[in-house]
Amino acid sequence: MDITSYLKNMQASVETALQNGLPDESVRPAILHEAMRYAVLNGGKRIRPILCLAAAEVFGQAPDAAMAPAIAVELYHCSTLVHDDLPCMDDDALRRGRPTCHIKYGAANAVLTGDALMIQAFQILAETGTPQLVLELAQAAGSQGVIAGQVEDLAAEGQTPSADLIEFIHLHKTAVLIQASVRMGAIVGGANPAEFEQLSVFGQKIGLAFQIEDDILDETSTDEVLGKPAGSDLEQDKMTYPAVHGLAAAQAKVSELTGEAIVALDTLSHDTQPLRAIAGYLVSRTF
Amino acid sequence: MDITSYLKNMQASVETALQNGLPDESVRPAILHEAMRYAVLNGGKRIRPILCLAAAEVFGQAPDAAMAPAIAVELYHCSTLVHDDLPCMDDDALRRGRPTCHIKYGAANAVLTGDALMIQAFQILAETGTPQLVLELAQAAGSQGVIAGQVEDLAAEGQTPSADLIEFIHLHKTAVLIQASVRMGAIVGGANPAEFEQLSVFGQKIGLAFQIEDDILDETSTDEVLGKPAGSDLEQDKMTYPAVHGLAAAQAKVSELTGEAIVALDTLSHDTQPLRAIAGYLVSRTF
C-alpha cells in the first residue's frame, strides 16, 4: 500500500472533522473559540486520530466510523500541548513554526483554552453514547496516565538520568494516549477481548517507539524541519531516552519496539496492513 | 425540616465519597495525588453535590443514589478553583484560610492538578455507564458554559459596569454548573421531561441567586468569616452585581430569584421540601 497517500487522505478527513467538531469563532466568547481553533488547526500530523481510524478499519469499518473518538483524542492531545507550553510549564514560545497559544492569547486564556479543549473531547465522546470510550480517554489522560507522565517529566528536569524514570515518563506521557487511540478504534470496530488485547500491546509499543523517536529527532534534527527549536530537551535539561541510554541504543530500541508492535498484530486474522504501514512510517519519519 | 442537620449529614456523606473517589496519596505520582486531595478536601460547603443528591431524592431515590454525579460536579468545580487561583489568572494566595494549590505545590503542578481533577470528574461519570451524565457536565463546563463565563469575567476586569455582561458572566461562570448539578440529580431520579424542565429552571435561578449573594458577601463580610480576603472583587476591579446595580438592588434580586426558583418547584407533585430549604439556606448564609 502507498502509506504516503493513505496518511494524506486520513489527515484530510481528520482535518475536516476537527474543523466541524470545534465551535465556530463567531460563537461567544469569540476569543476563546478562536484560540481553541488556533491551538488545534495547526497542521499537526494527526498520528493519534489516524491510528484510531486505522484500528477500526481492521474490523472492516468505514474509514470514518471511529471519527468521534479520533478527533476527541486529538483535541485532548492539543489541550496538553497548550498547557505544556505555558510559562509556568515548559515556557515554549514556538510550536509548528507559530507562536504558542499563550504568546498569542495570553497565559490566562491559554489555561482556559486547554481546559475547554479537554472538555470538548469528553463532550464528543459522550455524544457517541458509548461510556466505554469516555472511560478509555479518562483513564489514559488522568492522574495515572498522561498527567502522571507530565508531573514526573517536570520533576525529572535536571535530575540524574534513570532508566526506570524515563520508562515511566515515556509510558505515561506519550504511550498511554497512543495506546488509547488504538483501543478506542478497536472498541468501535467491535474487537473481541483477545483482539483488543493484541491491539492494545501494538498501541503501547508504537507509542513508546514514537516518543523515543521524538527524543532522537530533537537531538539530531534542525529548527526548520521540526518547526520548533531543535535541542530544546537538552537545553531544558529534560530527561530523554538518548540522554539515559545514548543515541545508538535509542535507535536500536525504536526498531525493537516497532518489531514487537508488528508481531502483536500477527495473531489477528484481519487486514492489518494499514497499521503495519503506519508503524513503519513512525520509525522512518524525519519530523 | 431541620436544614442545618440535613446539610450536615449530606456534607458528611459527600466528604466520605470524595475521600474514596480520589486516588490515594501513595499512588505514583504522590505529589499529584496529594495536591488533588489538598485542593478538594478543604472543608468546602459542597452546595453542588448536595443539590444533586437532593434533586434525586425528590423522586424517592436513596440519599446517595446520585453520589457519582454529585462528587463529579464537585471535582470539576474544585478544578476550576485551582486554575482560577493561578498567578496568571486571579493570582489568589489564600482559599478557605489555607494557601492555594499553586502556593503549596507550584504553578506547574497546580495546572496539572486542575487538569487531573477535571478528568477524574469525567472518569467517575463514565463509570456510571450513563453518557447523558457525561454530556450534562461537558456542556455545563465547556467553552459555552463555565469557561465562557471565566473568559468574559477576566476580560471584564476594569471595564465599565454593564448589566448585560454581568448577567452573561454569572449565568455561565456559576449558574450553569449549579443547574447541571440539579439536572444530573433529576436524571438519576428518572424525572419526566416536564419535571426535568422545572428542576432545570429551579437550578438556574438559585445558581444566579447564589453568585449574587457571593458578590454581596465579598463586599460586606470580613476576611475571617470568608476565609479569604473580603473586598477582593473590588480590589481586582471585578465586575460584580452590586458594582453594576448597587447593594440594595443586588439583595432584592437575590430574593426575587429565590422566589422564582421556589415557584418552579410548585408544579412538581413530589416532596421538594429539601430543595426549598436549601434555596432558603443559600440566601441567608453568611459565608
Contacts of B111 in chain A (CB under 8 A): 83, 86, 88-89, 111
Q: Does the beta-carbon distance from A23 to B125 stay under 8 Å? A: no
The residue of chain B nearest to residue A34, with distances taken between CA atoms, is B143
Q: Where are the alpha helices (DSSP H) in chain B?
A: 3-21, 30-40, 47-57, 67-84, 101-105, 107-127, 131-141, 146-156, 163-170, 176-189, 193-220, 223-226, 232-235, 241-245, 247-265, 273-284
Decide: helix, strand or coil at residue B94: strand
- Tell me what the pLDDT averaged over chain B comes to: 94
The shortest C-alpha distance from A82 to chain B (Å) reads 11
Compute the nearest-CA separation of B99 from chain A (Å). Answer: 18
Query: Is the domain defined by B3-284 classed in CATH 3.40.50.620?
Result: no
- pLDDT, one tens digit per residue, over B169-216 is 999 999 999 999 999 999 999 999 999 999 999 999 999 999 999 999
**pLDDT at residue number B286:** 66
Chain A partners within 8 Å of B27 (Cβ):
143-144
Question: What does the pLDDT average to over B78-106?
Answer: 96
Packing angle of the helix pair B107-127, B131-141 (nearest 10 deg): 150
Select from A86, A131, A151 the Cβ nearest to the Cβ of B32: A151
* Structure ipTM: 0.96
Residue numbers in A near B82 (CB within 8 A):
none
| Interchain CB contact of B141 with A (< 8 Å) | yes
CA-based nearest distance B240→chain A, Å: 19
What are the pLDDT digits (tens) for A245-263?
A: 999 999 999 999 999 999 9
CB pairs under 8 A between A and B: 163
Of A27, A123, A155, the CB nearest to B135: A123
**Residues A43, A48, A52, A58, CA torsion sign:** positive
- For chain A, how are helix, strand and coil distributed in percent, rounded to 5? 70, 0, 25
Instruction: Supply the pLDDT for residue B222.
Output: 75
Please tell me if residue A86 touches chain B, with a CB cutoff of 8 Å.
yes
pLDDT exceeds 90 at position A178: yes
On chain B, the residues whose CB falls within 8 A of the CB of A127 are 131, 135
Structure-block grid coordinates of residue B205:
435561578
The answer, for A30 touching chain B at a CB cutoff of 8 Å, is no
What pLDDT sits at residue B287?
Answer: 61
pLDDT at A110 over 80: yes
CA-to-CA dists, residue A121 to A40, A141, A231, A243, B70, angstroms: 12, 11, 31, 34, 21
The alpha carbon of residue B126 is apart from the nearest alpha carbon of chain A, in Å, by 5
Choose the mutation target among A85, A101, A112 for the interface with B, i.e. most B CBs under 10 Å. Answer: A112
CA angle A50, A71, B139 (to 5 degrees): 165
Tell me the pLDDT tens digit for each residue of A44-93. Answer: 999 999 999 999 999 999 988 999 999 999 999 999 999 999 999 999 99
Q: What is the pLDDT of residue A223?
A: 73
At A237, the pLDDT band (50, 70, 90 cuts) reads: confident
Q: Which three cell numbers stand for residue A157?
A: 528536569
Q: What is the pLDDT of residue A262?
A: 96
Task: Find chain A residues with C-beta within 8 A of B142's C-beta.
Answer: 116, 119-120, 123
CB contact under 8 A, A135 and B143: no
Residue A100 touches chain B, beta carbons under 8 Å: no
Query: Do residue A147 and residue B32 have CB atoms under 8 angstroms apart?
Result: yes
Q: What is the pLDDT of residue A235?
A: 75
Share of chain B above pLDDT 70, in %: 98
Q: What is the pLDDT of residue B205?
A: 97
What cell numbers appear for A161 in the block?
538520568
How far is the C-alpha of B95 from the C-alpha of B45, rounded, in Å?
13
In this model, does residue B95 exceed pLDDT 70? Answer: yes
What pLDDT score does B38 carry? 98
Q: Is B98 helix (H, G, I), strand (E, B) or coil?
A: strand
Identify the closest residue of chain B to A145 by CA–CA distance: B116
How close does chain B come to A149, measured CA to CA in Å? 8
Name the average pLDDT for chain A: 94
Say which of B33, B108, B148 has its CB closest to residue A89.
B108
**Section A155-174 average pLDDT:** 93
With CA atoms as reference, report the closest residue to A205 among A160, A266, A246.
A266
State the nearest Cα–Cα gap between B175 and chain A, in angstroms. Answer: 17
A127 touches chain B (CB under 8 A): yes
pLDDT number for residue A239: 86
pLDDT at A225 over 80: no
Choose from B115, B136, B159, B176 for mutation: most chain A CBs within 10 A: B115
Contacts of residue A108, Cβ cutoff 8 Å, sequence gap at least 6: B86, B88, B89, B154
Contacts of A36 in chain B (CB under 8 A): 143
> Could A88 and B83 be called an inter-chain contact, meaning their C-beta atoms sit closer than 8 Å?
no
Give the closest of A80, A114, A126 to B135, CB-based: A126
Selecting from B31, B106, B143 the residue whose C-beta is nearest the C-beta of A33 gives B143
User: Is residue B252 pLDDT above 90, yes or no?
Assistant: yes
Phi-psi region of A157 (alpha: psi -120 to 50; beta: other; left: phi over 0): beta
Integer Cα distance of B1 and B258 in angstroms: 18
The answer, yes or no, to whether residue A285 has pLDDT greater than 90, is no
Question: What average pLDDT does this structure show over B252-276?
Answer: 95
Cβ–Cβ under 8 Å, residues B87 and B102:
yes
- pTM tops 0.90: yes
Substitution target in A25, A82, A115, A165 with the highest count of B β-carbons within 10 Å is: A115
Q: For B15-62, write each residue's pLDDT tens digit.
A: 999 999 999 999 999 999 999 999 999 989 999 999 999 999 999 999
Residue contact A36–B143, C-beta within 8 A: yes
Q: What is the pLDDT of residue A286?
A: 66
Q: Report yes or no: A88 at the B interface, CB cutoff 8 Å.
A: yes
Average pLDDT value for residue range B263-274: 93
> For residue B103, is pLDDT > 80?
yes
CB distance A143–B28 less than 8 Å?
Answer: no
